[in-house]
Amino acid sequence: MLKTALAGVGPMLVVCLDLEGVLMPEVWINVAERTGIPELRITTREEPDYDKLMRYRLDILDANGLTIDDITDVIEGMEPLDGAVEFLDWLRSNWQVIILSDTFSQFAGPMMDKLGRPTLFCHTLEIDEDSRRITDWTIRLEDQKCRTVEALRAMNFNIIASGDSYNDTTMLAAANAGILINPPQNVADEFPQHPVATNYTELRDAIQQAASAMGE
């Protein structure tokens, strides 16, 4: 009979990271630059209500006749942030890593290829196959980043989480240790309980310090 964690198996560390703004550039900012539609530059760094933000984006895409293929063309031309691949390789050589993102499976493929195919939990778009319009989106779970962290902790994992935006803050709060990476000033000011890293060296040091404090 297997013994439970409470019977003597100690915690194991999992590092949970946001994707866009942490490892990859922001998809919608790149779409805005490629299409010349500045309204698409708004992200969860400015608008914390994700449903409101996505409806706003889809309305703009429809008004400009843009399809899923236009978006994926932009994504295929994006590269990881400088140092992201090396940082992620270092993390994965030491601990388990899960990318928790509010991106969509239809966007994720090219980004995951360039990052070495890490584990990713994200959402799904609904596509009209005739027009190739993005008609809606399906959320895997409400506040899936936070709920994933809570589930992992319930399984006796220690969690270090890092992200850059409003939609990462509940994940950071649910983790054993939460670290902001290059957040906008308004997010840093609103959540001063989380240390701020401004580059991968600082983030690596903060993760190592938190892991050491957990005995990992």
Per domain, the residue ranges of the chain are 5-25+81-213
Q: What average pLDDT does the segment 132-147 reach?
A: 93
Considering the candidates 18, 26, 102, 164, report the single residue annotated as catalytic.
18
pLDDT at 6 over 60: no
Convert 84-96 to b/e letters by CB count within 10 Å (16 or more is b): beebbeebeeebe
Q: Using CA atoms, how far apart are residues 61 and 186, in angstroms rounded to an integer?
A: 28
Considering the candidates 20, 26, 102, 164, report the single residue annotated as catalytic.
20
Packing angle, helices 84-94 and 200-213, rounded to 10: 10
> Are the C-beta atoms of 38 and 30 separated by less than 8 Å?
no
Active site residue 136: no
CATH number belonging to domain 5-25+81-213: 3.40.50.1000
- The predicted pLDDT at position 5 comes to 43
pLDDT tens digits, one per residue of 14-54: 999 999 999 999 999 999 999 999 999 988 778 878 888 88
Query: What global pTM score does this model have?
Result: 0.89
pLDDT tens digits, one per residue of 61-94: 999 999 999 999 999 999 999 999 999 999 999 9
Q: Using CA atoms, how far apart are residues 211 and 87, in angstroms rounded to an integer?
A: 16
Residue 10: which pLDDT band, with cuts at 50, 70 and 90? low
- Phi first, then psi, for residue 156 (nearest 5°) are 75, 30
- The predicted pLDDT at position 69 comes to 95
Active site residue 18: yes
> Are the C-beta atoms of 105 and 122 separated by less than 8 Å?
yes
pLDDT at 110 over 70: yes
